[in-house]
Every structure is written in C-alpha cells, then in structure tokens.
Structure 1
C-alpha cells in the first residue's frame, strides 16, 4: 500500500497462506505456506525506490530444520539481523541467523509454550502474548528482561557445578489487574 493508500497486487503469494509480514533493512519478509504444503518458508523481496517488491529469495525453509513441525505465528528482527519466529510449541521462540541458516531456541525452558505475538521494546524487555488453541481463553502477557535471562542461563550452568545446594533462580508472579504473568529473577 502506497502513502496515498493505493494498492498494487504483486501476485507472489496467490496460492499461499501468508502467516506474517515484516519490513527490515530494505526487504519485505514474508512467512508463507503454499496451499499444497504444510511447510512454512520465510521469503524476502528487495524493495525498489517506489516500495515495490522485487524477486522472491528464500531465507529459510523451516521444514529443512529440526523445527519443521512447528507452526509459525509471527516474526520480527533483532538489530543484528537475526530473525525471531514465534511458534505454537514448547520453547516457542526460534532465533534464526539468516546468514548461516542456524536455528536455535530462544530462552530454552524459560518461556511458556505457544507464542501468539511477541515484541522487544526499545530497552531490555521482551513481551509475549501466549495461549493454546482454546477459544475464549485469556492470553497472558509475559515479560522478560533479556540480561537476566542470560544470567539465568549462566546460573543453570553454575547450578550443575553446585550439586546439593538449593538456589532459587526463577519466580513467577501473577498480576491479576493486568492479566499478565511477569517473569522475575531472584
């Protein structure tokens, strides 16, 4: 859609279900599933000066990874160019390095399953709306401080070295007035 609200069809995804769209670093990224396949592929298109999408380039075919059974629910980018994919699975956020096609789980064992939408703010907070497929369920919003999550991962490694000692690394608090769960570390 142009600034004057005119639209122009590209025809790239006429036989696909578009799951998510993002613009990043001069490209339009599209997560799509062909109507004849269950595989989700993330594509990118360079944009010309008028904003028109160019030729389709594959970024990653999720079915070619260990995470091919997951359903993508959303995507966003980090400042370093890594692509984050929200999925409907345990450990719901995948971190994709487009340069290497390396896919890793973000915060393994920390985030609740099934990410519907997620967002990094301009600081250090991560927000995630999660739920399962039950209609009418309240979707709690989770927030997590990135630096503390990294500290937790380091703490888990240290915990293995400190056998027999009890260390509390994660507390879960419910904020009923906002229907949100807050991950806090202590």
Structure 2
C-alpha cells in the first residue's frame, strides 16, 4: 500500500469524515459497505450472467454508481481535479486498484485515468474487462464536469497490457481510431 493512500485515510479519520458506530460505516456522512473481494467477484459474475454478459449494461450500472459517488464532493470546497484525485485515492485505498489521473481537462470535459492492479483485471482474456470501473470513472467525471461523458478502456491488464487506461470524454468527441472501442464498450 502506498503511504499517500494511508495518510489520506488517516486524515479523513482524524477529521471525523470517516466513522463507524452502531453497525454504520460512513465516509463524508454517506453510508459505506465493506465487502471482501471473493463475495464481490461472485456478485459481479452473477450480475453479468443475469445480463447475458452485456458489458454495456454492466458499464451503465457502474456509471450510475460513479455519479452517486461523485456527489460526495458537494460538501468539500476543493477544485475538481483535486477532488477527482482524492476520490480515486480513496478508491485505491478501498482495493479497487491504484489509480492516477494522467490528464484532466475540465473545460472540454476530458480525462485520462490509469489504474494498476485493477480489481477486475485478475482474469486473463482478449478484451478489456474493467467495465464497472470504467463506468465508475465515467460517472464521477460526468458529475464533476456537469455534463454527460463516457469512458472507454484503451489498455487493460486482463488482456496483457501493463495497466488499465480509461479515456473519458463526451461520446461524440472520441477520435475515429477509438470508434471500435466505443462501439464495443458504450
């Protein structure tokens, strides 16, 4: 675990932003749930099976969750790029992978986010696998940018890449070279 993740957690705990009492765990006043990886994996596999393996539907579920996650930022008075970095740091601390913001353009509603050790990239395949995470970052960015943006996964550790990369922008702004990924993922 990187020290910066632990320090952010400790700061939030010390300031009362993280609490656990009477069976209720909250971060920023919002109730949270801690689930072990195996349980989460079984739940996600079953959801995917129930949806017929529809990666676009899984993405949309993640995106809805990301928008809700982004709402946490309303109570913090920090710039949007810092908030995105902080929320991704919390996500990293929670075990989803190690996230970094590689590019952030609030004016044009674009971002590139890198993830090492993605929770969904533990199974090898030929296609990107991090559909919930892709949705999550698209939802958070949609909330922050105050406009609907989408995300494609351009590299994925599950298919042998070194890490996962999520390119985020408005659907109509993806360049021609990304159109096959857009068609397959969104």
Structure showing the higher strand proportion among its residues = 1
Which structure is higher in RCO with an 8 Å CA cutoff and minimum separation 6? 2
TM-score (norm 1): 0.30
Structure showing the higher helix proportion among its residues = 2
